[in-house]
Structure 1
Amino acid sequence: MRLKINNLKFTINLKQVFILAISLLTINSVKAQEVIQDEVKEEAEKKADSIDFTGARKVDGVAAVVGDYIVLDSDIDKAFLQLQAQGVNTKDIERCQLFGKLLEDKLYAHHAIQDSIPVADAEIRQSVDYQIQQFLQQTGGDMKKLLEFYKKEDEQSFRDEMFEINKGNMLAQRMQAKIVEEVEVTPEEVRVFFNKIPENERPTFGTELKVAQIVIEPKVSQEEKQKVIDRLKQFKKEVDNGASFRSKVILYGEDPGLKQSGYIYTLNKKQPRMVKEFRQVAFSLQEGEVSEPFETDFGFHIIHLQKIRGQEYDVSHILLRAKVSTAAVREAQEKLEKIRKRIVDGEISFADAAREASDEKETRNDGGQLINPETQDYNFELTRMDPELYAQIQDLKDGEVSLVLADQDRNQKRKFKILTVTDRIDEHEADYARDFLKIKEQALNEKKVIAIEKWQKEKILDTYIKVTGEYRDCEFASNWLKK
């Protein structure tokens, strides 16, 4: 059973690393990702049969054909380089092992198309835009250097190549998700899974603790809010009179993610994205219309609806945040200092103080208790804790209250907080009752792996697959050679 658990973890982690690395960096050979037509497939088969593996490896030799996709020799070499560029130690990864992963990806992508799994072009373009922005950061924003590095003649050919690669990766990921989307485990299955593990082989879980916090946010005055609203109204008036909305976004907008997406967000009525208020306004507009100013948790916005394509809406927006005064910042900090003193002096418990005064809606009713985003419970394992949170609580003793800390939330709003640590559990061997959620996760992961293995076994037999040359000597975990 221990072997099974270890294999399970290795499979999942390796796949996650491969998907990340290949989706971000595989951009040198679009041939490896292109869907090929029947006549091209026949030509690929002939080429595969004619490859001579006795001498030096041909860079563009066909290593395999999987359905409507091909895998080149050079794809495997590049995959190794890409993993190394991501800081992955490839010493223990065999060539056959990586080749098998590429075969899996092609199998997923091929059947995603057969099953009509949707991947919107707009979504792919957004992913490409984001990746190019990330690449440009490495070249100091110089597109020419970027094109030279990847040996591309122009930006459009570069984008086209990345589009095909991202499409293939998204298809593969969606297919995998579909395979396991209905996989669940019952409490009885979790119990059986746990009992199968010999007592001397049961996993050990690291030190865990619960963390609570009280948050106070400096308040923005109504006067400052009105200044922002008036400014956005002026922008709308100027755009309605012929000014460029895009220019104003570039000059004044405060949404950092918008630049990464090419100054366009694509919203789909069937796929929730953005906060509720933003979506409601966007879907109420006519093509070419600019909205009135409105507020979300991120700040104040006006939206420009650029194009409607069926269920998809291409929008841009200007986000402005109202400024917090120095006096408001000082008032918030002093308020939290007083709350902390009441807790330390024993006048009120930390949990009651959180319910009474915290400005954080997500934790206030739970007495300030933070929820672990990975496990959806209150427990945080020290070795897997977010580094920023760890730095804030690492020196706290149980029940001790931190000093007032300055921080920013995900919307870039300034805030102050105090934290405390409760219910510390030292490193321990897995206990069914105490660690049920973790054990359930392991049982679910094992069941998902079994489902994927079953799917692969069936689809390999149903799909045209040809592995050529020296790769036929690989010892695959899956039956790629159909023996």
Structure 2
Amino acid sequence: MNKIILGLALLVSMVATSQENDSIPKVPEEPELEASLDIEKDTVQNFKKIKLDGVAAVVGDYVILDSDIEKTYIDLKSQGVSTEDITKCSLLGKLMEDRLYAHQAVQDSLLVSDDEVNANIDRQLQSFVSQIGSMEKLLKFYRKENEQELREDLFEINKLRMLSEKMQASVVSDIEITPEEVRQFFNKIPKDERPVFGAELEISQIVKIPKATEEEKQKVIDKLNTIKADIQENDASFKIKAILYSEDEGSKANGGFYAINKNTAFVKEFMDVAYRLQEGEISEPFETEYGYHIMLVEKVRGQERDIRHIIISPEVPESAKEAAKSELDSIRVKVNNGDFTFAEAALNFSDEKETKFDGGVLRNPQDFSARFELTKMDPTLYNQVRNLKDNEISYPIMEEDPRGGIKYKIYKITNRYDEHVADFAQDYLKIQELAKREKQFNAIKEWMDIHIEDTYISVNEEKRDCDFANDWVKE
């Protein structure tokens, strides 16, 4: 059963839809072709055959070379992954899975646009450069002559990965789990093999967001209207304007581009505008909690939209920042004096809509429960609350929002749970997630069996003796 739990844990990364790895991967180097040849004019002497590279397998339209397996193995080792239990056969099996997903995604018209891939590459490169220091160092690290050459390599890697992820997400998107299925899953785990959950905290917060003056807001609206007029009247490029003026670091390098659908986790005001506009239409300036935007709907594909936006945040004066901090200090004192509870204060004074109506309770983005396991907490949040005692309220903490602006917060630890063996009632949400992953795992296995049978697959004779997890070898 421990192996089952481990397998289910690994499934998390296998079926996730939109989360990118921001640690520097090792981009595959160009294969070096080596041969020992001794050639004279019109005469060949001492010719020695050496295999330059071979085809390990073919899956649909994708070819997997022996060098692809070697590169993947080297990449894992160089990134500190233990390769003790990883074989070349298991790596080939994983590469074949990825390509089967990507092949079937194309067959099912689950396409990924070039703009989506390039937007992802932009985010990767920004992260890589911030880690390694400069683009020049990054190019040297990857042994590339220029940025374009690196982008071309990353494009192929990302395109295949994004197609694969899109297909995997499609396979499990409609899977739900009933309470009875959760109960059956839990009961079939032997008591001595039930998972152990680490120490956890429940945390509440009250947030104050300093506000800009009406004058500063109008300056931003006027600037956005000027940008819009230049685009519409002078045929200026929205993409270039976004690169020049947008404050969204996640999209400005790619001209403010996002590919979205109805499930994209953007704020309601942003999504409402995106689905109200017609293709080619530019919005009036509109406000979200992050600032003021204008938006262009570039392409409509059913429930999907390709959009570009420009966001500019009005400048917040120092007096507003001090006022927000002072208000939180006052709230903290009044809660400690018993004038009202922390939950009542959150409801009446917090500026964060996502938590104020729930008494300020923070939700874990992993499972949306109110608990945060200490060893898995976001490092920033952990550092902010680690020294708090039970029912102690922190002093105001300033936090920069990555999407723009600043916030001030006070925190309170409302509950603390010690490490313990899984309990059905106490840990229902975690057990529910494990049961759902097992059901997803089984659905993926069934999908694999069907599409392996229906897809052209050829495995090199030398690899046919591999003990694959799936039945890749066809008689």
The TM-score with structure 1 as length reference comes to 0.82
CA distance, structure 1, for counterparts of residue 66 and residue 23 of structure 2: 18
Q: For 1:354, which of 346, 356, 359 is the aligned residue?
A: 346
Distance 1:269 1:427, change over 3 A: closer
Does structure 1 residue 458 correspond to structure 2 residue 450?
yes
Distance 1:457 1:258, change over 3 A: closer
Distance 1:214 1:241, change over 3 A: same
Q: Could you say which residue in structure 2 is the equivalent of 1:207?
A: 199
Does structure 1 residue 7 correspond to structure 2 residue 7?
yes
Instruction: Answer yes or no: is the 8 Å Cα contact 1:108–1:171 preserved in 2.
Output: yes
Q: Could you say which residue in structure 2 is the equivalent of 1:441?
A: 433
Query: What is the CA-CA distance between 1:28 and the residue it aligns to?
Result: 4.3
Distance 1:302 1:345, change over 3 A: same
CA distance, structure 2, for counterparts of residue 101 and residue 12 of structure 1: 15
**Residue aligned with 2:409, SS:** strand
Write out aligned runs for 1:24-35 (5 A): 25=25, 28=28
CA distance, structure 1, for counterparts of residue 22 and residue 359 of structure 2: 43
Count of aligned pairs between the two proteins: 455
CA distance, structure 1, for counterparts of residue 272 and residue 344 of structure 2: 36
Distance 1:30 1:326, change over 3 A: same
Does structure 1 residue 122 correspond to structure 2 residue 120?
no
Greater helix content: 1
Q: Could you say which residue in structure 1 is the equivalent of 2:75?
A: 82
Query: What is the CA-CA distance between 1:274 and the residue it aligns to?
Result: 5.0
Deviations 1:170-216 (A, max 9, x none): 22222222222232222122111111111122111111221001111
Deviations 1:43-97 (A, max 9, x none): xxxxxxxxxxxx9984531011122221101111111233345443334322211
Q: Could you say which residue in structure 2 is the equivalent of 1:99?
A: 92
Instruction: Answer yes or no: is the 8 Å Cα contact 1:23–1:169 preserved in 2.
Output: no
Instruction: Answer yes or no: is the 8 Å Cα contact 1:67–1:110 preserved in 2.
Output: yes
Structure 1 residues without counterparts, runs of 5 or longer: 32-54
**Residue aligned with 1:80, SS:** helix
Q: Could you say which residue in structure 1 is the equivalent of 2:333?
A: 341
Q: Could you say which residue in structure 1 is the equivalent of 2:218?
A: 226
The residue identity in structure 2 corresponding to 1:478 is N
Name which of structure 1's ranges 356-365 and 133-142 shifts more when overlaid on structure 2. 133-142
Query: What is the CA-CA distance between 1:229 and the residue it aligns to?
Result: 2.1
What value does the CA root-mean-square deviation take over the aligned residues? 3.5
Write out aligned runs for 1:152-167 (5 A): 159-167=151-159
Write out aligned runs for 1:296-307 (5 A): 296-303=288-295
Deviations 1:429-468 (A, max 9, x none): 1111111111111111112112222222233233332221
CA distance, structure 2, for counterparts of residue 423 and residue 122 of structure 1: 45
Deviations 1:75-123 (A, max 9, x none): 1111123334544333432221111100111222222233333333432
Instruction: Answer yes or no: is the 8 Å Cα contact 1:21–1:86 preserved in 2.
Output: no
CA distance, structure 1, for counterparts of residue 236 and residue 60 of structure 2: 51
Write out aligned runs for 1:347-386 (5 A): 347-386=339-378
Q: Could you say which residue in structure 1 is the equivalent of 2:401?
A: 409
Does structure 1 residue 60 correspond to structure 2 residue 53?
yes
Q: For 2:420, which of 425, 428, 445 is the aligned residue?
A: 428
**Residue aligned with 1:256, SS:** coil
Q: Could you say which residue in structure 2 is the equivalent of 1:51?
A: none
